[in-house]
A and B are shown apart, each in its own frame.
Chain A
Amino acid sequence: ETGVTQTPRHLVMGMTNKKSLKCEQHLGHNAMYWYKQSAKKPLELMFVYNFKEQTENNSVPSRFSPECPNSSHLFLHLHTLQPEDSALYLCASSPGDSGANVLTFGAGSRLTVL
């Protein structure tokens, strides 16, 4: 596999469920990101990891919990979400976290919270 792979592609969960989104990159990149894409709103950066260390948490509610066990894998653990959390969650990676770097995105995980 090449590029950035996200699983699952679609997820429906109740507000009391616990689920996780997974992201894997095969590009040898050192930085990984979670973005939230909602209709009619700009992409919102949620978290940045550089060399497995979290370097950015964009005031994300604690019901979203990221985990980066190594530079190739990134998880987003979901717990007691709200209906307004329904969105497309995009994972991305880049060689480093310099602003000049290009992001490579996965296809996204479409989350619906009932």
Chain B
Amino acid sequence: DSGVTQTPKHLITATGQRVTLRCSPRSGDLSVYWYQQSLDQGLQFLIQYYNGEERAKGNILERFSAQQFPDLHSELNLSSLELGDSALYFCASSVGRPGVVTNYGYTFGSGTRLTVV
């Protein structure tokens, strides 16, 4: 157990639907990062939250959104799903602080496998 919890582990849904993926970061970590892993695109950074605020955005589609709640868990919302959204979605957390140089690390959850049919 890495300490980062992602639910659900597997999700099968139809095109056009909306799903929510959940991530609980490791205790003490303030940053949450979402990545999408697909066969043709590799590991793509989607979005990052730090202590409840959006800090960085990658190639996240407008149909996708995320938030980080006061208890630091995060949710990734995917709507109007398309077949191409089928992928493994990873959440990672880190204890690093902005502007602070420390030997921190990133801990990944085991991912949510989304299949759109």
Partners in one complex: no
